[in-house]
Amino acid sequence: MKLEDCKLGGTHLKSSDFEKCKVLTTEWTPNLGYAWDNGVAIGRYLAELKEGKIIARICHECHRIMLPPRMFCELCFRPTDEWTYVEDTGVVNTFSIARVNWDASRRGPKEPPLIPAVIEIDGATKGMGILHMLGEIGPDDVKIGMKVRAVWKKPEDRTGAITDILYFKPVRAAASKKAAAGRKR
């Protein structure tokens, strides 16, 4: 068989076909709602975020300090062992300069681009990153490997959500040294 010799299905419609009502469509907006149980690990994670702290879980078998926290170690397949606070600082593993919103709509000309990043949190095992946003920095100044610190919502505005951290902002070199000195557990 050769595809070139076959009559293939799939009829392309143009925007004008809809505008001229050449084809009819049926619309439906589903009204779906979910209320997910956070459970033990993420429940505590969110409660600590409300207090302005980031908490992780330790597995005594592989010795990983895991973020987001989890009640079982997916590699050792056993319950994790204890809670530990980690820093609210970290290192940018990678980032993007996003001019597109979640629904593929474009950000307006006056809206600054969003800067999502994977941030490896200090105090967690190397490579343990979370998705969050960068702020107080221009798109041209972001670098992989740069030190950043969480900017928290005001305590009274926090709800126990990942968005209790507004974004992460760059740490200046001097401040970064100070943070490292104060991190002895």
Partner 1 sequence: MGMRKVAIVGAGITKFVRRAQETGKELSWQASKMALDSCGITLDDVDMVTLGTAPDAFDGVHMKGEYLADGAGAHRKPYMRHYVGGGTGVFSPIHGWMHVASGMADICLVVAEEKMSSCHPHPQGAFLTIFDHTTEQPLKPTLIWIFALEMNRYMQTYGISKADIARVSVKNKHNALDHPSAQVAEEITVEDVLASETLCWPVNRLDISPASDGAAAVVLASERVARRLTDKPIWIDGVGMSIDSAYWATRDLSYPRYVETAARMAYDMAGIKEPAKEIHIAEPYDPFDYKELHHMEGLMLCPRGEAARLTAEGYTARDGNLPICPSGGALGVGNPIAATGLMKVIEIFLQLRGEAGKRQVPGKPTCGLAQAWGDLMQMGTVIVLRS
Partner 2 sequence: MVKRVAIVGIGTTGFRPITPDVSYRELIFEAARKAYTDAGIEPSEVDGFIAAAEDFIEGYSICDEYCPDQIGAVLKPTHTIAGDFIQALAAGYMMIMTGAFKTVTVESHSKASNIKNVDEVLGFAFDPVYNRPLRETPHAIAGLEMTRYMFETCTSSEQCAKVVVKNKGNAMRNPYAAFGADISEKDVMNSEPISLPLHRLDIAPHADGAVVAVLADGDTALALTDAPIWIEGLGWCTDTPTLEMRDWGEAAYARIAAEMAYKMAGIADPVGMIDFAEICDEYSFKELQHMEALKLCRPGEAAHLLESGATSFTGRLPINVSGGALGVGHLFEASGAHKILELVEQLRGHAGARQIPDVNIGLAQVWRGVPTATGAVAILSNM
Other CB atoms within 10 A of residue 54 CB: 24
Q: Check residue 88 and report its DSSP letter.
A: S
- Comparison of 45 and 59: residue with beta carbon closer to partner 1: 45
Residue number, 18 or 113, with CB nearest to partner 2:
18
Strands 82-86 and 54-58: antiparallel
Kindly tell me which residue out of 12, 20, 110, 185 binds partner 1, with binding defined by CB under 8 A: 12
Using CB under 8 A as the binding rule, whether residue 26 contacts partner 2 is answered as: yes
21 binds partner 1 (CB under 8 A): no
Inter-residue contact 93 to 126 (CB < 8 Å): no
Task: Determine, following the binding rule CB under 8 A, whether residue 116 of this chain makes contact with partner 1.
Answer: yes
CA distances from 174 to 137, 180, 181, 183 (A): 18, 10, 11, 15
Measured CA angle at 71 (ends 66, 74), to 5 deg: 65
Where in 75-134 is the site for partner 2 (CB under 8 A)?
Answer: 75, 77-78
Window contacting partner 2 (CB under 8 A); options: 23-31, 120-128, 159-167, 171-179? 23-31
For partner 1, the binding residues in 50-109 under the rule CB under 8 A are 68, 74, 93-105
CA torsion through residues 92, 83, 50, 180, sign: negative
Q: Which one of 57, 64, 70, 147 is in contact with partner 2 (CB under 8 A)? A: 70
Q: Which residues contact 141 (CB under 8 A, 6 or more apart)?
A: 170
One character per residue 128-147, x = contact with partner 1 (rule: CB under 8 A): xxxxxx-----x----x---
By CB under 8 A, the count of residues binding partner 2 is 23
CB of 28 to partner 2, least distance (A): 6
Taking the C-alpha atoms of residue 59 and residue 129, their distance in angstroms, rounded to an integer, is: 17
Per CB under 8 A, residues contacting partner 2 are 26, 28, 30-43, 70-72, 74-75, 77-78
